[in-house]
Each structure stands twice: as C-alpha cells, then as structure tokens.
Chains A and B, each alone.
Chain A
Amino acid sequence: GENVEQHPSTLSVQEGDSAVIKCTYSDSASNYFPWYKQELGKRPQLIIDIRSNVGEKKDQRIAVTLNKTAKHFSLHITETQPEDSAVYFCAASMRGAQKLVFGQGTRLTINP
C-alpha cells in the first residue's frame, strides 16, 4: 500500500521568512496530494491540494510543488506570520480512491 514520509518533523523559522515542508510517496498510482493544517486543539483543515496533472499550485502565500518522477511534493509558505504556527500534514491518495494516507506531520513554529 501507499506510504507517505514527511520531513522535517519540526521546523522553526523567523517571522517573515519562508518555510518548506517535504513529502515523498511510494505508490506511483497516487494522483491527489492535499495538505492539511491543524492548529493546537483544533481539527485538521485543508489548505491546498494538487493533482498529478499539475506541477505547481499557488494560493496567496502558500504553494505546493509536485515532482511525479521523483515521487515527492512540497509545501512552501512565504512571508510567514505567527498564525502560520501549526502542525501541517501532507497526504496522498490513488486515482478513484477516497482513502488518504497521511504523513507524520510537521510542527511549524514562527518566531516573532
């Protein structure tokens, strides 16, 4: 089955700097890659997703890139703000499947 590895497990950056979180997946049949943000004590919420027919997607300060050949995808957050502090999860699912396989999460801390 699919396996998703996420790095780093913790990340600390200065406010205003950029943050990058990376994930790799094992199953080449996977074609949908969402990113979820989970604030302390809250539920995971989708922030951005990408499909395998696209190499990059942006939404304001966040972007996701996908390299199908290498089977990895990354989340980029620019001009980080204190409210970006949270745990971020990547996930992958195969074509036609609703099941998501999640990475282990990255705890991002934005230092003022």
Chain B
Amino acid sequence: DAGVIQSPRHEVTEMGQEVTLRCKPISGHDYLFWYRQTMMRGLELLIYFNNNVPIDDSGMPEDRFSAKMPNASFSTLKIQPSEPRDSAVYFCASSLPAGGPSRSTQYFGPGTRLTVL
C-alpha cells in the first residue's frame, strides 16, 4: 500500500488567494483526519470524517476553512481567502475503526507545507 497520499507537498501563495489541499487515505480506512502543525500551536486537529461524513469540525479555525470528502478515497481542505497566519504544515491521516489490535492507530501522510505571503 502506498500509504496516505497528500498533494501538493509544498504550496506558496499570496494572501487572499484560494488554496486547496488534497488527501487520499489508505484504502479500507474509513476515518480521515486533517491536522495543522505550527511551532506555536503544535499539532491541532481541524476536522475528521467517518465514512465520508464530517464528525467533528470544532477545530476548524474560522469560516475561511472548509473540508469535503466526496468519496472514500479523496478529501480536500480549502482555505479561501488565505492569510499569512495560515502558514503551517497540514497533515492528513487515516485509520481503521476502533476495536482490535490496531485500534485508533492513525497513519499520517507526508504533509503539505503551506506558505502564505
């Protein structure tokens, strides 16, 4: 298995532009998570999905952020309009359902490093 796939790996954009980050979870995983990592705030959960349905979006910082999961193999995180304070590494992770020896193990993608100028 290729693991969790994210694109792009690096994104540099100007303030005010729309940014779309993409994620493909591990096949068979029905949980998908979006995290943001910064030096100041550490690793923050933004939103997570179960079977393509958003379960908890309490970590989404504001209305400029939105996430979708149109099918089991694809999710997007969109920022519109982007601001310099959105600069961070955004990770996508996926996992199997709770229960069993692999309970709750989250497998992270390589991340997207976003820089907003």
Contacts and interface: CB of A to CB of B under 8 A. Distances in A.
Contacts of A42: 110
B61 interface: no
Contacts, number: 47
A100 interface: yes
Chain B interface main SS type: strand
Interface of B: 31, 42-43, 45, 48, 50, 56, 91, 95, 97-98, 103-111
Interface of A: 32, 34, 42-46, 49, 51, 89, 93, 96-105
Given A49-B105, A100-B45, 14 more contacts: A32-B104, A42-B110, A43-B109, A45-B108, A46-B106, A89-B43, A93-B104, A98-B95, A99-B45, A99-B48, A100-B104, A102-B42, A102-B45, A105-B43
